Amino acid sequence: MWILATLIAVLVCLLIVRFLKQLWSHKNYPPGPLQFPLIGSIWRILPNFSQDIFIKLAKEYGNIYTIWVGPLLVVVFSGFEAVKESMVKHSEYFEERPVTPFFEAIAKEKGIVLSNGHTWKQQRKFGLVTLRKLGLGKKGIEHKIEEEAHQLAEIFARAKGQPLDPSSPIINSVTNVICSLTFGHRFSLEDEEFIKLRDALQDIVQFTVTFFHFLYDTLPWLMKHLPGPHKKVFASCDFISSFARKEIEKHKAHRSLVEPQDFIDYYLLQIEKSKKDPNSTYNEENLSQCIFDLFAAGTETTANTLLWALVLMANHPDIQEKVQKEIDDVLGSSQSFSFQDWKKLPYTRAVIHEIQRFKYILLFGVPRQCTKDVNIMGFLIPKGAIVFPDFCSVLFEPKHWETPQEFNPNNFLDKEGKFVEKEEFLPFGAGGRACLGEQLAKIELFIFFTNLLRTFTFQPPEGVKKISEDPVVRLVIPSQPFKICAVPRSNES
């Protein structure tokens, strides 16, 4: 018996010594919750998980802190100074994506969002150049967005001021913008394949940062053989890839290499041009994944921002009235306007920015991986560490915003009512991995929002004092399901 007790004591001592050596080897890392064997410091997050959990941790441990997910080192940058120092000034150290089992399974290190190295550089550069060619900031894409905005207004008008759920119409409209950009055409809202595409995108986004997501990344070898929601997600990924491949084949059969009309046309032309380049990553597998990335990054975020916009306008009728007055005064009875009119509408512009700040749409920035040992603000960030820039903390940092916890367009206006650009406004990220579709999103938000506000006044349904502003906590943060009254404006110019 004493032999067993001795062995147990020795084992415990060895574990304690190993634990102490581990703590000593991490002494130069940023501070954080105590790391335990096996579970790391995840115990500090999971029981009290909420949208502001990372801001709470920053108040306790500072603007750069460490969380251990099992043996995995995660460093969080919180607040504007820490985010700028890491993501902008030292961006070259944080341009890689971590290759986790889940991300590897859905993207296979292809495309733009989840690729790395040479593949990422080529695909991102091509994406940026092509989006510019397709007319971001010019009449090309604006015209298509305006068409979708008019279609959306017609759907709202059919409700004749009665309560309606705006989520499906808005998601359909935003998804069709990406369809027009990528495929060169929109889909009927009754098209079964289009409905499946929209639903598949939602399935994937809603699964990310859930318990089963973390379980898959922890035990991929086991989860591959077990049933669960991850199986539905992979089926949704396969459907989107199949959808993309069908469109690629249609374009190959009828493509216009002389005058490309959409993203697929431009990419197929690039494949032709790069045939003799042994270092080219332009191929149909990467094209298919780029299409997936454009939809995944460009639908849920913009659609949910617009839904939050309706909630906030209904709950703040004084602000809504000021926006409508400015639109009427500046645009008058003009049936068409361009993104350049944004400059003539400082209050409307401030309101859209404040919607993005106050209801920041992501739980946290998409993770990156440190490529080399680097010292940031006195702390060692080791090679291989996964890093999260907490952009939400920047958008709510008290020293940079007049009323961070309140919806207040004055955060973006000076005393004369002129719009003020703020360096701390980072809803699209920062550094080399910032959002590829930032300009597209800005145009969409402006045209959809302005069209809706000039046509309708949004109100809570009768008997409802205020629409809930409580979020649903997941990767892309939507509002609670709600109904709203889109009352046609009797004073429409």
User: Does some domain include residue 223?
Assistant: yes
The residues that bridge with 380 in the sheet, in sequence order, are 375
Q: Give the pLDDT confidence score for residue 179 in this predicted structure.
A: 94
Sorted by sequence, the CB contacts under 8 Å of residue 425 that are 6+ apart come out as: 353, 356, 357, 395, 412
Q: Which residues pair with 74 in a beta bridge?
A: 67, 386
Residue 268, beta-bridge partner list = none
pLDDT at 44 over 50: yes
pLDDT in tens, 113-155: 999 999 999 999 999 999 888 876 555 788 889 999 999 999 9
Query: Is residue 19 over pLDDT 60?
Result: no
The tens digit of pLDDT for each residue in 341-357 reads 888 999 999 999 999 99
Higher pLDDT, 213 or 148: 148
Q: Tell me whether residue 73 is exposed, middle or buried, using C-beta atoms within 10 angstroms of its C-beta: 0 to 12, 13 to 18, 19 or more.
A: buried
Beta bridge partners of 34: none
Tokens 């985010």 correspond to 83
Instruction: Tell me if 106 sits within 8 A of 204, measured CB to CB.
Output: yes
Q: What are phi and psi of 350, to 5 degrees?
A: -65, -40
Contact 286, 110 (CB under 8 A): yes
Asked if residue 316 is part of any domain, the answer here is yes
SS3 343: helix
Q: Which residues contact 18 (CB under 8 A, 6 or more apart)?
A: none
Name the helix (H) or strand (E) containing 236: helix 229-254
137 part of a folded domain: yes
* Percent of the chain clearing pLDDT 70 (strictly above): 91
CB-based contacts of 298, cutoff 8 Å, min separation 6: 174, 177, 178, 437, 440, 441
The amino acid present at 2, given as its one-letter code, is W
305-331 tens-digit pLDDT = 999 999 999 999 999 999 999 999 998
* Within a domain: 435: yes
Q: What mean pLDDT comes out for the span 213-223?
A: 82
C-alpha 125/C-alpha 305 separation (Å) is 27
Domain presence at residue 15 = no
The amino acid present at 62, given as its one-letter code, is G
pLDDT of residue 371: 93
Give residue 357's pLDDT: 97
Name the percent of the chain lying above pLDDT 90.
62
Question: Which residue matches tokens 């469109």?
Answer: 247
- Tell me which residue range forms the domain holding 358: 71-488
Residue 130 within a domain: yes
The residue that leads in pLDDT, 13 or 69, is 69
Residue 222: the pLDDT is 84
What integer pLDDT is reported at residue 368 of this predicted model? 92
**Count helices and strands in the chain by DSSP H and E runs:** 18, 9
What's the pLDDT at 326? 95
Residue 409 lies in a domain: yes
> Total domain count for the chain?
1
Length of the chain: 493
Do the Cβ atoms of 294 and 437 come closer than 8 Å?
Answer: yes
pLDDT at 42: 80
Q: Please tell me the distance from the alpha carbon of residue 239 to that of residue 201, in angstroms, as a whole number.
A: 10
23 is a domain residue = no
Q: Inform me whether the pLDDT recorded for 493 exceeds 50.
A: no
For the chain, the average pLDDT equals 88
Q: Is 237 annotated as a binding residue?
A: no
Which is it for strands 72-78 and 386-390: parallel, antiparallel or unpaired? Answer: parallel
Residue 256 CA from chain centroid, whole number? 32
Tell me the per-residue pLDDT of 259-268, one tens digit each, with 9 for 90 and over: 888 999 999 9
Is the separation of the CB atoms in 73 and 28 below 8 Å? no
Tokens linked to 184: 């060169």
* pLDDT over 50 (residue 405): yes
* pLDDT range class, residue 337, cuts 50, 70, 90: confident
In CATH, what number is assigned to the domain containing residue 127? 1.10.630.10
Per-residue pLDDT, averaged over 275-297, amounts to: 93
Give the amino acid at 282: Y
Burial of 15 (0-12, 13-18, 19+ CB in 10 A): exposed
Q: What is this structure's pTM? A: 0.91
Helices (H), 108-161: 117-133, 139-158
Write out pLDDT tens, residues 72-119.
899 999 999 999 999 999 999 999 999 888 889 998 899 999 999 999
Angle of helix 300-315 relative to helix 192-207, nearest 10 degrees, comes to 80
Least confident interval from 28-37, 181-190, 482-491: 28-37
Q: With 70 as the cut, is the pLDDT of residue 64 above it?
A: yes
Residue 25 confidence (pLDDT) above 70? no
